[in-house]
Chains A and B, each alone.
Chain A
């Protein structure tokens, strides 16, 4: 990537701006969105910076058209993204399903805000965690990453683009208003130290009739438009060649399974976690901004001599059940912390409860990250 795209240096930077910088560094060429608090700063920054490197941000008429334009641009061969918050995702979910169905690389940033409905726009909650996984209709797998700092807003955006391109799928960056609006030190490395991936496409001049552009569990080459591949791209049930099939149930079965397996087969390499639970009897499991409170509480507890560790999920979807099990086999107590009423908790409990006691600690007030003191109190309770 060129120096123009990578603004190497040390900055005091807002999370949302770091996300936009990450997109530039990852090679984003097209962005579309609709203004929404608390994600707007990403759009603003992209609108300024993308044209400087030959791209553009487009303000669409709504979030439905935003994601549609992003998918269209991706099929035109561009690295593309959209940025929004919960209400925008609610409008996008049908077309997110489309992107999954026709295997379209794109990045969707959700800077989560107080919800349900219009809720409380400037307050961060982790209220859209399950929506990211199950928002669109049908069985499917998705990739979602949860940054916990402005630095990770930068880094995870780069990873999100790479995953999107590598696995030909939409990738969620599930941030929230706290992380998005947080200002901290952000270090942008030199361009050559940032790995960027671009999707595989068929060989130029390939016979269109022989291109298997879909439904390969090891990711089919993407027959992007404008190259003479004569791609037939339909979200209706189709075969490896893109040919529509609306009558044969075995075609539907293949369609559903292969799309899911494409992600699940590569789960190990997609899964990113931060483990710090060596010799711990009590493990705090969290993700995103909440993990900062968990780390603080664990450190205080250890000072008091209580063996507390942490497991932070960076990849929340596909759900890293194996990581949870591995942790739970070593722990006696697992405390799940989320800034909601327990969205990922049932998934964690299902994997961990066979091996350890699992409990959930919501924040005192939803929209307020857990006070480390409260976490400590909970630790004392379960450790006695």
Chain B
């Protein structure tokens, strides 16, 4: 009898025997959506360098993916990815990390590289909490929620629209889905990989252990059902007032535009500078 093998098993590092995610975690859905997108595009894992920071979502590629994987410091994966991309412009560079990593401690790298519009895919698993350290408030935790560091409820306004921030910063491609939309998410990741520019995908993802249990939003299934109920497409959302959109999750592809991309601009600059230097040397002005 033939052994049954998962179709994406070939994408998994052979030395990895298990994942470190809690039961019901959304990171598995995100991992599979990424692999489905790569498979769907007919690409190879060697076409990619995966970069991640610190936190649960950072462990999606590290060590799971059988590719070049760069597991870096907290908040800085995009800054590391910048150097990797400049050094290997022909490779696809994908950053996978969480909201705490990318938006709190690493917020400026996210903004600045969206502004640069450097070609890379950034997938932000947004679970509205610090999961790995045990359920502390994040900049994405809704106001008033009790967490381990806000036992009386959070007293800060929170990021309700990370995607909006990245659109304003100037990224070429911005989309938001939830883990209840794996097919749409996969389709957007495919587009993001092919995008010649900074492509940001926010994935609202369930953390049943540190968020669901503490916040009373239930287990993984209940959280996913809640995402489905609250999600609304961009088109539909346009018909509603801000008041009506409260508590709703607007999903879809917000931005998909063509604009100058940084690696290309740098390549052009280098070509110009070396040609000028060559000419100066030949004419004896060097």
- Chain A residues near B (Cβ < 8 Å): 4, 29-30, 32, 51-56, 58, 60-62, 64-65, 68-78, 80, 94-95, 98, 209, 225-226, 228-236, 241, 243-244
Contact = CB atoms under 8 A, between A and B. Distances in A.
A65 B79 contact: yes
Contacts of A230: 13, 45-46, 66-69
Given A77-B88, A235-B72, A225 B82 contact: no
A51 B83 contact: no
B165 interface: no
A221 to B, nearest CB: 15
A228 B46 contact: yes
B87 interface: yes
Given A95-B73, A234-B62, 15 more contacts: A4-B277, A56-B269, A64-B79, A69-B79, A72-B51, A72-B80, A72-B84, A75-B70, A75-B87, A225-B84, A225-B91, A230-B13, A233-B69, A235-B73, A243-B15
A60 B63 CA distance: 29
Select the residue from A78, A95, A225 with max chain B CB neighbours within 10 A.
Answer: A225
B70 A73 contact: no
B270 A55 contact: yes
A73 B266 CA distance: 15
B69 A69 contact: no
A59 to B, nearest CB: 11
A66 to B, nearest CB: 8
> How many of chain B's residues touch chain A, expressed as a range?
35 or more
Interface of B: 13-15, 45-46, 49, 51, 62-63, 66-73, 76, 79-88, 90-91, 108-109, 112, 266, 269-270, 272-274, 276-277, 281
A53 B274 contact: yes
Most buried by B among A29, A51, A74, A80: A51
Contacts of B84: 72-73, 75-76, 225
B274 A225 contact: no
B86 A73 contact: yes
Contact of A68 (B66, B69, B79, B274): B79
B274 A58 contact: no
A234 B69 CA distance: 8
Nearest to A231: B68
